[in-house]
Structure 1
Amino acid sequence: MTEKKSARSMIVSLFLLAFIVAVALIFFKYYEREKPQITFQGDISTFGLKKEVKFTVSDKRSGISLVEIILNQGSKNAKIYGKEFSRLGFFEHDGPKKLEETVTLESGSLGFTDGKAELQVTVRDFSFWNWMAGNKTVMSYPVILDTHPPKISILHSTRYVSPGGSGMVLYKIDDVVEKHGLIVNGHFNPGFPASDEEDNRFVAFFGLPFDTEKIESAVINANDLAGNTGNAAFGIILKKQNFKHDRINISDNFLNLKIPEFAQEYPQLTGSLVDQFVYVNSRVRQENYQAIVTAATNPSPLR
């Protein structure tokens, strides 16, 4: 009789232990209290007429159920982003663990005025915590709305430029900018401080390809921290130049002497000596040109 009671007690104890473990596992999985996270890429302290905002939302446990971004200014507010995920079932509620999005904020079209505002972000997850309302993260970011583009003044510029030649432009910007420089025929050339003094004067240099036929456009371009873009055109007169053309005869002796030298540097050379010579003077020259262009895209302001 005692052995039966002992066995019955052990079964009950094991059942209770299993029940407690099951409840703990359910509570741990479905009633988790880890709040979702949100991070912004880049500066969001200032907004202009139009600015892209990149952000990442994550929740490693139960997944994301709602993301909402609202811009507030006084009594006025506007939702600039909103996304909600449906619960699939009572136990099938997991949302995405990570969400990467880009939203474009156009403060002017939304009716906001320049000045202080607030960006409020709300994120919820699918946890059963808070009576199945989930964990909630609310973040507020103070921002400045600035819809005025930077003002650019041209102080001096090269007037006449020949194909294959170069020039410079001296200019002044009345605002703190994130990027600036001059654009000639679609090619951007970054600007640099004209002196060690902080007088908002900058200089940018440019070069024209040897086959330039005309100047389509020439402007100084500047983007401020709010995303506003300012432009100021300047005049360039293209001075046509007649380049000298020569005809050079290539002998077999020259090819026999030079092609082996190139073959050491470019083992991909194949075919006749003429084919290899043409490859070097076309494909290799183009690759070298692109290497120079790449090196010149990130110049240093140090002199």
Structure 2
Amino acid sequence: MIEIDWKTIRLQIIVVFVVLLILMVWYAVIRLEWQNPVVNLNMKYPAVGPEQKLSFSVSDTGIGLRKVWIGIIKDGRETVLSEKNYPPPGFFGGKAAHEDIVKLTIEPKKLNISDGDAVLRVEVRDFTWHGWLNGNKTLIEKEVKIDTVPPTITVLSKAHAVVQGGSCLAIYKLSKPCPVTGIYVGKNFFPGYAGYFKDPTTYLAFFAANYDQGHDTPLSVSVSDFGGNNSTVPLPGYVLKRAFKRDTINLSKSFMERKVAEFNVDMPKNVSVVEKFLKINSDLRKKNNDLFESAWKKTEKDMLWDGPFMRLARSANEASFADHRDYRYDGETIDKQVHLGVDLASVAHAPIKAANRGKVILSEFVGIYGNTVIIDHGFGVLSTYSHLNSFDVREGQTVAKGEIIGRTGSTGLAAGDHLHFGILVHNIFVNPSEWWDATWIKGNVLNKINAVKLMN
């Protein structure tokens, strides 16, 4: 007869019970975790257009995601946009979905959702036992505007003829405020700005024709509203052809050796002075021009200037805007460039005055342009001052029209003491002579603004 060791059996049962109890407590702790799922829903604008793409992330660091539900509530009616259920985790949580990217396209008209105010709702739950076994819940509600109607554009200003390398102003009214609005000259975009006029839907935009854009370059007003609805209308106007001078720059051996040595050119030591010059005059010039052409991003949304711009006092014009230059060395043409400014020469180290009121957005050494100051005059209009011997202003400083900002010099790739003066409209260099001309300012800027003010 086999004797049963009840004491051992009871002990084993107790051990099994304790282990099961520990596992149950452990599993219950996991199932009862309190951390809510995370939803990263960032909309650029609180608006839903005719075909609104939505993408956001959801995550749960605990037991895992259970469900993502998305809907729109409009006029008391709930419309389900998307609903996704995730598989339950295994006992040890190995199959849990802890993160996901949710993507969908909202098309209000197909869903019979009318334009107007609505609420976008996102509900995410996990697999915990909270909420009567429904899990922890994260609820996101965003007030949005359903907008499927494109904005209308009414051009208010007249006369938009612009010469090659010239500037112009357009003023237009929209049926509603829009975050993206401006003028296209060919493929070049010039932002429009609200806030100058009392009517918040009246915009102005300074624009320009590049020196090489032809008569057939299309002009248009283009806008996009918060819902992504787009509208474009032709801007009455055209680009006028203008002849530019050709100029020959004869480079002496002494200039080449002296100036090239001033630049830290990343090239092998055994390359010729001509190769080094070409790298400076071409590659570095492009890099420097890119810096100038991106400076508009710091522009003030206000018109800081008043009246015609000032020219360097008692100065001679040594080079004109958009001169097409041939660089010759040792009897051969070694490079071709376009001069994007006006060279003005006076006495050595002549005082330079701010051409108009504005804010200094750059005062530093800029490659071939040497010591340079850039002044923002608002609404994308900038003036540039280069080859300075020294400058007396700092970035962020507001300067008055006529305030001394520096002295002329020959820093950078300059042969002699002079001021290289430039005007930028947005990211395009333009002919400064227009901005010096009081008659041009009155006819092309002030008269347009005053005419629109009378309409408001």
> Do these two structures clear the TM 0.5 threshold for a shared fold by scoring above it?
yes
The one-character-per-residue Cα deviations of 1:56-98 (angstroms, maximum 9, x if unpaired) are 3221202223323123446866543344333464444553433
Determine the structure 2 residue equivalent to 1:110: 111
1:240 and 2:241 correspond? yes
1:203 and 2:204 correspond? yes
Letter in 2 for 1:179: V
Gapped regions of structure 2 (runs ≥ 5): 1-7, 305-456
Aligned-pair CA distance for 1:282? 0.8
Aligned partners of 2:64 and 2:89 also within 8 Å: no
- Distance in 2 of aligned mates of 1:28 and 1:234: 68
Aligned-pair CA distance for 1:275? 0.4
Aligned partners of 1:166 and 1:208 also within 8 Å: yes
Determine the structure 2 residue equivalent to 1:283: 283
Aligned partners of 1:269 and 1:279 also within 8 Å: no
Name the % identity: 25
Q: For residues 91 and 133 of structure 1, do their structure 2 counterparts lie closer, same or farther at Cα, with a shift above 3 Å needed?
A: farther
- Distance in 1 of aligned mates of 2:268 and 2:202: 50
Determine the structure 1 residue equivalent to 2:273: 273
Determine the structure 2 residue equivalent to 1:213: 214
- Distance in 2 of aligned mates of 1:126 and 1:85: 9
Aligned-pair CA distance for 1:148? 1.6
Residue aligned with 1:220, SS:
strand
Q: For residues 89 and 197 of structure 1, do their structure 2 counterparts lie closer, same or farther at Cα, with a shift above 3 Å needed?
A: same
Determine the structure 2 residue equivalent to 1:48: 49
Aligned-pair CA distance for 1:189? 1.5
Residue aligned with 1:248, SS:
strand
Deviates more, 1:212-221 or 1:130-139: 130-139
- Distance in 1 of aligned mates of 2:88 and 2:94: 5
Letter in 2 for 1:69: I
Aligned partners of 1:157 and 1:234 also within 8 Å: no
Aligned partners of 2:217 and 2:239 also within 8 Å: no
Q: For residues 215 and 157 of structure 1, do their structure 2 counterparts lie closer, same or farther at Cα, with a shift above 3 Å needed?
A: farther
Gapped regions of structure 1 (runs ≥ 5): 1-6
Determine the structure 2 residue equivalent to 1:292: 292
Determine the structure 2 residue equivalent to 1:69: 70
Aligned partners of 1:63 and 1:126 also within 8 Å: yes
Residue aligned with 1:253, SS:
helix
- Distance in 2 of aligned mates of 1:183 and 1:83: 43
Letter in 2 for 1:290: D
Letter in 2 for 1:296: W
Deviates more, 1:169-178 or 1:140-149: 140-149
Letter in 2 for 1:256: E
Q: For residues 218 and 83 of structure 1, do their structure 2 counterparts lie closer, same or farther at Cα, with a shift above 3 Å needed?
A: farther
The 5 A counterparts of 1:18-37 are 20-37=21-38
- Distance in 1 of aligned mates of 2:277 and 2:293: 24
- Distance in 1 of aligned mates of 2:132 and 2:160: 73
Determine the structure 2 residue equivalent to 1:152: 153
Aligned partners of 1:66 and 1:123 also within 8 Å: yes
Letter in 1 for 2:241: K
Aligned-pair CA distance for 1:238? 1.4
Determine the structure 2 residue equivalent to 1:258: 259
Aligned-pair CA distance for 1:278? 0.8
- Distance in 2 of aligned mates of 1:134 and 1:194: 49
Residue aligned with 2:283, SS:
helix
Aligned partners of 1:94 and 1:126 also within 8 Å: no
Deviates more, 1:7-16 or 1:236-245: 7-16
Aligned partners of 1:158 and 1:167 also within 8 Å: no
- Distance in 1 of aligned mates of 2:198 and 2:148: 28
Determine the structure 2 residue equivalent to 1:163: 164
Q: For residues 16 and 85 of structure 1, do their structure 2 counterparts lie closer, same or farther at Cα, with a shift above 3 Å needed?
A: closer
Aligned partners of 1:62 and 1:93 also within 8 Å: no
Letter in 2 for 1:182: I
Q: For residues 11 and 120 of structure 1, do their structure 2 counterparts lie closer, same or farther at Cα, with a shift above 3 Å needed?
A: same
Aligned partners of 1:73 and 1:117 also within 8 Å: yes
Residue aligned with 2:251, SS:
coil
Letter in 2 for 1:275: E
Aligned-pair CA distance for 1:182? 1.8
Q: For residues 48 and 101 of structure 1, do their structure 2 counterparts lie closer, same or farther at Cα, with a shift above 3 Å needed?
A: same
TM-score calculated relative to the size of structure 1: 0.81
Aligned-pair CA distance for 1:285? 0.9
TM-score calculated relative to the size of structure 2: 0.56
Letter in 2 for 1:42: M
- Distance in 2 of aligned mates of 1:77 and 1:286: 56
- Distance in 1 of aligned mates of 2:69 and 2:281: 58
